[in-house]
Structure 1
Amino acid sequence: MAGHSQFKNIMHRKAAQDKKRAKVFTKLLRELVIAAKEGGADANANPRLRSAVQAARVANMPKDNIERAIKRGAGGAEGDNYEEVRYEGYGPGGVAVIAEALTDNRNRTASEVRSAFSKNGGSLGETNSVAFNFNRVGQITYPVDVAAADAMLEAAIEAGADDLESDDETHVIYTQPDLLQEVRSGLEARFGDPQESKLGWVPLSTIEIDEEQAQGLFKMIEALEDNDDVQEVIANFEVSDEVMAKLNA
């Protein structure tokens, strides 16, 4: 299990699905608001908003909710003064962790993120204290049934992408950050809208952790992901199949 797979292999361990869905909607709505605020309400002319709308649709967010969030953002509604903040630190086993947030209160979010780190065997550092362990990349995700891996790889290369990772569920295409929209446009012409398109982080190398370290790290990641302000968590760890089997038993 790789850290940049966004924790998906153990998400089934989370209970309270309704609560989880509400939190997902909160994060998506916040992204819709800030995307519309920064780039306007026209998704065709605003790549970030277009990606946010697509992510909301994938999550089955009602159309009215999406439209209201866009109007709020484009209208500059009071109370929507969100800032993008990146928190960095180390988890159990020396794993590097990045938490990206959208917050309207830096002090509150910093305190909550620091608590999530410290209560689970980690330590919050300064900005750029662990970012050197990762590459900043564009990421475009398609469902695996859109195309065979060979066909997707060929199309990705033709569009200017750097790499492709395929698994049982998705194709993830990696690009240079400044080529994200160009590559996305090329792939859309052939496969339609992607499931997700964003700037992300990919670890340069990973650290294998044992069962005890994994338990602490997963608790920390869950605590961070449960925070409404935190949009995404990335970490550079690997967990063996044997350890995962024990944790899922």
Structure 2
Amino acid sequence: MAGHSQFKNIMHRKGAQDAKRAKVFTKLIRELTTAARSGQPDPAANPRLRAAIQAARVANMSKDTLERAIKRGAGNDAADNYEEVRYEGYGPGGVAVIVEALTDNRNRTAGEVRAAFSKNGGALGETNSVAFMFDRVGEIVFPAAAGTPEALFEGALEAGAEDVQSDEEGHSVTCAQDDFAAVREALEKTFGEPKSAKLVWKPKTTTPVEGEKAETLFKMIEVLEDSDDVQTVYANFDISEDEMKRLAG
């Protein structure tokens, strides 16, 4: 198994998601506020805001909380002015890691990210030190009930997507960055509102990791995601089924 989504599955099975509900909401509120600030507060005219609203709904955020976050962004309050920052580096075992953050204090966030790397056998690098090992692509995720794997594959192909991965949890469609808006719009018309729709970093190659290095890597990712400033963490690790079962306990 490869990629960051498998790490999320491990943490879910360990019951960590419920405990982090408040942090999830904090991150979603920041994205809603930033999305509303960066474009129009109307989701129909602001694709980033529409995606943020979809993510908030999936997380069962209340309508009042969602609307307040959008209003704060539309109001251009300096107190809610978050800056988008990307950090890159290597984790245990030489795994390439990209960290995306929304922060109102770059020094604080940089210190937290640097500490997470250094205390867990990693090393923070310069911007673009590992980004070349990833492709920036669009990712649109639909629930399993949206359609059969065959229907999603045919629909995605017709919409101009590059790949579709389906399993019991749902369907993940990827497309070129420049085609993202058109592919998402076409698929929404056929299959309804997706669970998520965003630009992601997809590894071009993966790095095998196991044993203590795998444990330390996942600990580092968990520490990073515990930061309110960190929105998303991407890593190009590859891990065997047996090792995945061991880590899942």
TM-score tier after normalising by the smaller chain length = over 0.9
Residue by residue over 1:94-116, the C-alpha shift from the partner in whole angstroms, topping out at 9 and shown as x without a partner, is 00000000001000000000000
Q: Which residue of 2 aligns with 1:54?
A: 54
Partner of 2:191: 191
1:51-90 alignment to 2 at 5 Å?
51-90=51-90
Query: How big is the shift at 1:179?
Result: 1.1
**Secondary structure of the equivalent of 1:40?**
coil
Q: Which residue of 1 aligns with 2:246?
A: 246
1:31-180 to structure 2, matched below 5 A, reads: 31-180=31-180
The alpha carbon displacement at 1:197 in A equals 0.5
Cα distance, 1:92 vs structure 2? 0.5
Letter in 2 for 1:30: R
Contact 2:14–2:248 (CA under 8 A) maintained in structure 1? no
CA distance 1:16–1:134, change in 2 (3 Å): closer
CA displacement 1:29-57 (0-9 Å, x = unmatched): 00000000010210100000000001000
Does the 8 Å contact 2:10/2:247 carry over to 1? Answer: no
- Residue 182 of structure 1 corresponds to which residue in structure 2? 182
C-alpha separation in 2, matches of 1:4 and 1:157? 25
- Partners in 2 of 1:67 and 1:243 — Cα distance? 43
2:127 and 2:242 map into 1 onto residues whose CA distance is 34
CA-based RMSD: 1.3
Q: CA deviation at 1:5?
A: 2.0
Q: Aligned equivalents of 2:193 and 2:235: distance in 1?
A: 28
The residue matched to 1:127 in structure 2 has which SS? Answer: coil
In the alignment, the residues of structure 1 paired with residue 236 and residue 182 of structure 2 have an alpha-carbon distance, to the nearest angstrom, of 28
Q: Structure 1 residues 139 and 130 mapped into 2: Cα distance closer, same or farther (>3 Å)?
A: same
Say if 1:4 and 1:202, in contact at 8 Å, map to a contact too: no
Q: Which runs of 5+ in 2 are unaligned?
A: none
Find the aligned partners of 1:94 and 1:209 in 2 and give their Cα distance.
9
SS at match of 2:128: coil
Give me the TM-score of the superposition, normalised by structure 2. 0.97
Gap runs ≥5 in structure 1: none
- Structure 1 range deviating more: 159-168 or 14-23: 14-23
| Mapped partners of 1:168, 1:180: distance in 2 | 24
Q: CA deviation digits over 1:188-217, x for unaligned, max 9?
A: 111111110000011001111111110000
Q: 1:236 aligns to what?
A: 236
Q: Which residue of 2 aligns with 1:26?
A: 26
TM-superposed deviation, 1:18: 4.8
Does the CA contact (< 8 Å) of 1:37 and 1:76 recur in 2?
yes
Contact persistence 2:165–2:172 (CA under 8 A): yes
C-alpha distance after superposition, 1:118-176 (max 9, x if no partner): 11110100000000110000110001221111110100011111111112212111111
Equivalent residue number for residue 11 of structure 1 = 11
What residue identity is the alignment partner of 1:32? L
Aligned partner of 2:107: which letter? N
CA contact 1:84–1:101 (8 Å) conserved in 2: yes
Tell me, yes or no, if the aligned pair for 2:51 and 2:197 is still in contact at 8 Å: yes
Q: Percent identity?
A: 65
Check conservation: 1:90, 1:96, Cα contact below 8 A: yes
Q: Do the aligned partners of residues 168 and 121 (structure 1) sit closer, same or farther apart at CA in structure 2, a change above 3 Å counting?
A: same
Q: Distance in 1 between matches of 2:211 and 2:183?
A: 39
SS in 2 for 1:242: helix
Structure 1 residues 14 and 83, CA gap change in structure 2 (3 angstroms): farther
Q: Secondary structure at the match of 1:79?
A: helix
Once the 2 structures are TM-superposed, how far is the Cα of residue 244 of structure 1 from its aligned partner?
A: 1.6
Question: Any conservation in 2 of the 1:87–1:100 contact (CA below 8 Å)?
Answer: yes
Q: Give secondary structure in 1 for the equivalent of 2:174.
A: strand
1:189 & 1:155 partners in 2: Cα distance? 10
